[in-house]
Chain A
Amino acid sequence: MQVKDVAKSFFENGKEFKVLDLVRFDLSERDFVCVVGPSGSGKSTLLRIIVGLEKPTAGEVLFEGEPIRADNPQVAMVFQSFALFPWLSVEQNVELGLEAKGTPLEERRKIARKFIDAVGLTGFEDAFPRELSGGMKQRVGIARALAIEPLLLCMDEPFSSLDPLTAQNLRDEILQLWTNPDLPPKAVLMVTHAIEEAVYMADRVIVLSSRPGRMIAELEIDLPRPRNRKEPEFYGWVDEIYSLIV
Chain B
Amino acid sequence: MADNNLMLDIRDLTIHYETDSGVVHAVEGLNLQLGRGESLGFVGETGAGKTTTALGIMRLIPNPPGKIKSGQILFDGEDLLKKSEAEMRRIRGAKIAMIFQDPMTSLNPVMTVDKQIAEMIRLHRNVSEHEALKQAGDMLELVGIRRERMHDYPHQFSGGMKQRVVIAIALACDPELLIADEPTTALDVTIQAQVLELMKKLKQQFSASMILITHDLGIVADICDKVAIMYAGRVVEYGDKRSLYANPLHPYTIGLFRSVPDIDEDVDELPVIPGLMPDPMDLPTGCAFHPRCSMAEECCSRERPEMKELEPGHFVACPVRARMLGQA
Answer yes or no: are A and B bound together in one complex. Answer: no
